[in-house]
């Protein structure tokens, strides 16, 4: 089912890691639509994964001389989506003007490929840590989740669950109370104060203490988290971004950035994040209603849920319809 969410279609949506698009074309389902990504000398390109001739999936074809070749009858499409060759045409016959692929705007940034389905080319968000030499960046994902995209984002912004779902890692059950914090909206930025979170062993020394969390909403499906250790000024940020596959199917990706030496490999960092995410997964896959209620009367919020309330209000104001009630 095609999901005509105009807000998301007008945004940049993560499709895959840059390294996933190699010589072979790659199919990714975004908002219920099959999209083919392929790479040539000019970079990465995205088309609707559909040949206008007989509806074959172009992703089953190959890239030849920089053109995407349909697997069924060999029509060739250049980077602009224009058909440049139809093998069956008798000599002297020109290619019909309608022989085109449907092209989508896409770009590579921060290690990922992003697509803009409405071709309106909106401003891209800034994630400065990615090019900051003081930070080490580790890409995370894909993680498939059978839940609607905003539910996953909200789970990421939820501070109250840390001492329960992630007990022993990101919190302890003896310290469930979340310190008071506010959500600020300044010049379009939506972010929290620093929130003190008591953790059993935040720096690997075996010592329990408070660390400070902040959250920021960047885009409807892209949010930022920062953890700061007050003793060392060590900072870790996670940019979470969700690929909306369907109303109740998502793929989570992230960038984890560290301004300190973690003493762990990229694989170990990813494995830890996978483990934490696996703790959240059964929760978000079983929440009812599946869609995130944007009517604030539907669920019962506490003061510490302020950031998720701000997120719901933000989606409502933007008019996001996918996976929201």
CB 53, min distance to ligand FES, A: 3
Rounded CA separation 61/24 (Å): 8
Residue 54 interface partner, choices Co ion, ligand FES, none, CB cut-off 5-8 Å depending on type: ligand FES
Q: Which stretch binds ligand FES (CB under 6 A): 71-79, 113-121, 181-189, 204-212?
A: 71-79
List the single partner that 72 binds among ligand FES, Co ion, none, CB under 5 to 8 Å by kind.
ligand FES
Among all residues, whose Cβ is closest to Co ion?
A: 280
Is residue 283 near ligand FES by the rule CB under 6 A?
Answer: no
Nearest approach, Cβ of 38 to ligand FES (angstroms)?
15
Question: Counting contacts by CB under 6 A, is residue 48 touching ligand FES?
Answer: no
Q: Which is nearer to ligand FES, 73 or 134 (CB)?
A: 73
Note whether 243 and 227 are within 8 A (CB): no
Query: From CA 224, how far away is CA 208, in angstroms rounded?
Result: 24
Q: For the chain, give the number of residues.
A: 325
Position 75 contacts ligand FES (CB under 6 A) = yes
Quote the tokens at residue 34. Answer: 């099959």
Residue 302 CB burial class (10 angstroms; 0-12, 13-18, ≥19): exposed
Place of tokens 């697997």: 71
Contacting residue, 17, 20, 29, 56, with ligand FES by CB under 6 A = 56
Nearest to 262 by CA among 249, 254, 253, 271: 271
Q: Which stretch binds ligand FES (CB under 6 A): 48-56, 147-155, 212-220, 277-285?
A: 48-56
- Min separation Cβ 1 and ligand FES, Å: 23
- The 10 Å Cβ neighbour count of residue 52 is 19
Q: Which of 4, 27, 43, 54 binds ligand FES (CB under 6 A)?
A: 54
Contact pick of 8, 46, 70, 255 for ligand FES (by CB under 6 A) = 70
53 binds, among ligand FES, Co ion, none (CB under 5 to 8 A by kind): ligand FES
Using CB under 6 A, which of 72, 125, 212, 314 touches ligand FES?
Answer: 72
Asked if 30 contacts 16 with a C-beta cutoff of 8 angstroms, the reply is no
> At which residue do the structure tokens 């800034």 appear?
126
Long-range pairs of 127-132 with CB within 8 A, sequence gap ≥ 24: 127/224, 127/239, 127/255, 129/237, 129/255, 129/257, 130/255, 130/257, 132/257
Residues 145, 254 contacting (CB under 8 angstroms): no
How many residues bind to ligand FES according to rule CB under 6 A? 8
Interface with ligand FES, residue 51, by CB under 6 A = yes
* Residue 74 beta carbon to ligand FES: minimum distance, rounded to whole angstroms: 6
CA dihedral defined by 226, 227, 228, 234, rounded to 10 degrees?
-100
Could you please report the per-residue DSSP string of 261-290? --SS-HHHHHHHHHHHHHHHHHHHHT-SSS
Cα Rg of the chain (Å, integer) = 22
Q: Are 223 and 153 contacting, i.e. CB atoms less than 8 angstroms apart?
A: yes
Q: Which does 280 bind (CB under 5 to 8 A by kind): Co ion, ligand FES, none?
A: Co ion
269 sits near ligand FES (criterion: CB under 6 A): no
- 51 interface partner picked from Co ion, ligand FES, none, CB below 5 to 8 A per type: ligand FES
Do 235 and 227 contact (CB within 8 A), yes or no? yes
**Residue 249 engages ligand FES in binding (rule: CB under 6 A):** no
- The residue assigned the tokens 């030496």 is 261
Residue from the set 34, 53, 103, 249 that interacts with ligand FES by CB under 6 A: 53
Question: Which residues are near ligand FES by CB under 6 A?
Answer: 51, 53-54, 56, 70, 72-73, 75
């Amino acid at each position: 089912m095609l999901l005509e969410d105009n807000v998301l279609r007008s945004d940049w949506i993560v499709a895959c890691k840059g390294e996933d698009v190699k010589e072979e074309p790659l199919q990714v389902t975004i908002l219920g639509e099959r999209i083919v990504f392929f790479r040539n000398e000019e970079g990465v390109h995205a088309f609707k994964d559909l040949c206008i001739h007989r509806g074959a999936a172009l992703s089953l074809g190959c890239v030849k001389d920089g053109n995407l070749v349909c697997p069924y009858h060999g029509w060739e499409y250049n980077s602009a989506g224009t058909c440049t060759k139809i093998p069956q045409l008798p000599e002297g016959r020109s290619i019909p003007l309608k022989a085109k692929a449907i092209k989508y705007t896409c770009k590579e940034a921060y290690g990922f490929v992003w697509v803009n389905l409405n071709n309106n080319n909106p401003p891209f968000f800034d994630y400065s840590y990615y090019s900051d030499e003081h930070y080490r960046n580790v890409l995370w994902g894909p993680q498939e989740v059978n839940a609607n995209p905003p539910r996953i984002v909200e789970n990421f912004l939820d501070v109250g669950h840390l001492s329960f779902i992630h007990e022993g890692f990101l919190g302890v059950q003896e310290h469930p109370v979340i310190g008071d914090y506010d959500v600020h909206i300044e010049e379009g930025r939506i972010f929290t104060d620093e929130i003190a979170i008591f953790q059993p062993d935040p720096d690997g020394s075996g010592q329990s203490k408070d660390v400070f969390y902040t959250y920021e909403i960047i885009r409807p499906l892209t949010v930022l988290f920062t953890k700061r250790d007050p003793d060392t000024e060590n900072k870790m940020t996670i940019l979470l971004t969700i690929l909306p596959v369907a109303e109740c199917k998502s793929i989570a990706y992230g960038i984890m950035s560290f301004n300190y030496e973690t003493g762990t490999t990229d694989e170990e960092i990813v494995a830890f994040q996978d483990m934490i995410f696996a703790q959240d997964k059964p929760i978000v896959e079983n929440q009812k209603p599946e869609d995130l209620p944007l009517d604030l009367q539907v669920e019962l919020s506490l003061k510490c849920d302020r950031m998720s309330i701000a997120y719901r209000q933000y989606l409502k104001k933007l008019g996001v319809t996918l996976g929201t009630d």
